[in-house]
């Protein structure tokens, strides 16, 4: 009952047009008008804001996270598998998060490849509780708006073991060690592999098909699927099966499945049942402290200024995460998708994040995925109106926790 009442009250505030503690924006006033933020837990505050642009009213929701508070932590929320999706509110409630926003862009559809299953897996690297879950797909295989010059699918926002948030870039370093030599590993639990590459799939991948990994090219997501593929199953360090076509189903504990395309497939075909194989991989960042949590996106603000080359045309409901005060503050923002309200271009989003206090910021998945929730012992409450009318299941989210 408490959750229902909370949702109804929140809905009434959003739909009614007024914000407690904040004046509504005037029709011709583009200034940012913020409500009085309230603590949802020690070190975590929630507030709303409004602003007008020539297209109309923009309404947003903001979580401000004080990482200098030792009671506060941040981690990746995901449904227990890379290739799976769940609503943000459910992900937050299951982990007891006091706040969350949706995360990375993901493999949402496969209309270009009839008969191939969309995996639901995210684009970029992912790290949860220090466990490195996956690497980044090739730039040309990503979903989402165009990235600015210099950005890559390896870009992430994360929190290190030093309890500081930062933008970073995680690159996969890996190898397949065989009796005949060392093969380069080009993917880890990814829905798309580089042309000619080999990827590893662990139990964290889930049960969805691995066929999608061999479709498209490094520059064209819609290119046909490769006809030159091989899949090798390795269990406890020995090859147990060699197949021509990537399969589906969960990867058992103690096992790893290797998928190769083109040159990678030809090199995997040299392996036979019983051959010894060892797979090693790690995600390497550029910062001095390893990331305990990381999620993919692309940079829109660096050093208090929007990055060059951001899109200024396409308008959408958007989600963003930013850092401030030397990484001691984390800002999690989602726009409201209720009817009668407008979204922002990516460049406008960057300007907004600067005004909200972010020194660096990332664009996360938007549109129907944009969701911000707060949580308590009764469950999680969706604070914005998802633009699709209901929460969209997503592969991951940024979760905020407070021990207070």
- pLDDT per residue, tens digit, the chain (404 aa), is 233 323 322 333 333 233 222 333 333 456 899 998 999 999 999 999 999 999 999 999 999 999 999 999 999 999 999 999 999 999 999 999 999 999 999 999 999 999 999 999 999 999 999 999 999 999 999 999 999 999 999 999 999 999 999 999 999 999 999 999 999 999 999 999 999 999 999 999 999 999 999 999 999 999 999 999 999 999 999 999 999 999 999 999 999 999 999 999 999 999 999 999 999 999 999 999 999 999 999 999 999 999 999 999 999 999 999 999 999 999 999 999 999 999 999 999 999 999 999 999 999 999 999 999 999 988 999 999 999 999 999 999 999 999 97
Q: Taking the model in full, what pTM does it have?
A: 0.92
Instruction: Supply 81's token pair.
Output: 């598998």
Distance between CA 81 and CA 152 in Å, rounded?
24
CA distances from 159 to 299, 328, 370, 387 (A): 15, 10, 21, 29
CB atoms within 10 A of CB 244: 11
Distance between CA 279 and CA 354 in Å, rounded?
43
Q: Residues of 68-98 as b/e, b for ≥16 C-beta within 10 angstroms? A: ebeebbbbbbbbebbbbbbbbbbbbbebebb
Counting Cα atoms < 13 Å in the Cβ hemisphere of 372 gives: 26
Contact at 8 Å (CB) between 81 and 165? Answer: no
């Amino acid at each position: 009952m408490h959750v229902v009442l909370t949702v109804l009250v929140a809905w009434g505030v959003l739909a009614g047009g007024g914000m407690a503690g904040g004046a509504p924006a005037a029709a011709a006033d583009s200034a940012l008008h913020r409500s009085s933020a309230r603590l949802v837990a020690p070190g975590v505050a929630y507030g709303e804001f409004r602003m007008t642009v020539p297209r109309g009213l923009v309404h947003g929701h903001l979580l401000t996270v004080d990482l200098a508070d030792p009671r506060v932590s941040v981690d990746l929320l995901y449904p227990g598998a890379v290739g799976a999706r769940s609503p943000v509110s459910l992900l937050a409630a299951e982990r007891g998060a006091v706040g969350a926003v949706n995360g990375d862009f993901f493999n949402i559809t496969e209309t270009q490849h009839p008969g191939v299953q969309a995996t639901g897996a995210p684009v970029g690297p992912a790290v949860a509780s220090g466990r490195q879950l996956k690497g980044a797909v090739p730039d040309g295989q990503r979903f989402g708006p165009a990235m600015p010059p210099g950005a890559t699918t390896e870009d992430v926002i994360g929190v290190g073991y030093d309890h500081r948030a930062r933008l970073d870039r995680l690159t996969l370093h890996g190898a397949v060690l065989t009796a005949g030599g060392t093969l380069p590993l080009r993917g880890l639990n990814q829905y798309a592999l580089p042309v000619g590459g080999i990827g590893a799939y662990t139990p964290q991948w889930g049960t969805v098909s691995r066929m999608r990994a061999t479709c498209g090219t490094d520059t064209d997501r819609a290119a046909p699927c490769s006809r030159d593929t091989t899949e090798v199953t390795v269990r406890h360090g020995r090859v147990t099966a060699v197949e021509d076509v990537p399969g589906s189903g969960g990867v058992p504990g103690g096992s790893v499945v290797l998928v190769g395309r083109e040159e990678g497939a030809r090199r995997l075909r040299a392996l036979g049942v019983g051959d010894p194989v060892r797979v090693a991989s790690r995600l390497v960042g550029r910062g001095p402290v390893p990331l305990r949590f990381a999620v993919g996106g692309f940079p829109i603000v660096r050093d208090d200024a929007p990055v060059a080359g951001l899109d200024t045309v396409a308008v959408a409901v958007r989600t963003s995460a930013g850092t401030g005060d030397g990484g001691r503050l984390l800002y999690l923002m989602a726009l409201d998708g209720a009817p009668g309200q407008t979204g922002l271009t990516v460049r406008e989003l960057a300007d907004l994040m600067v005004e909200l206090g972010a020194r660096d910021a990332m664009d996360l998945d938007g549109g129907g995925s944009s969701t911000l929730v707060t949580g308590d012992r009764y469950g999680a409450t969706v604070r914005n109106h998802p633009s699709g009318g209901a929460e969209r299941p997503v592969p991951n989210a940024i979760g905020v926790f407070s021990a207070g």
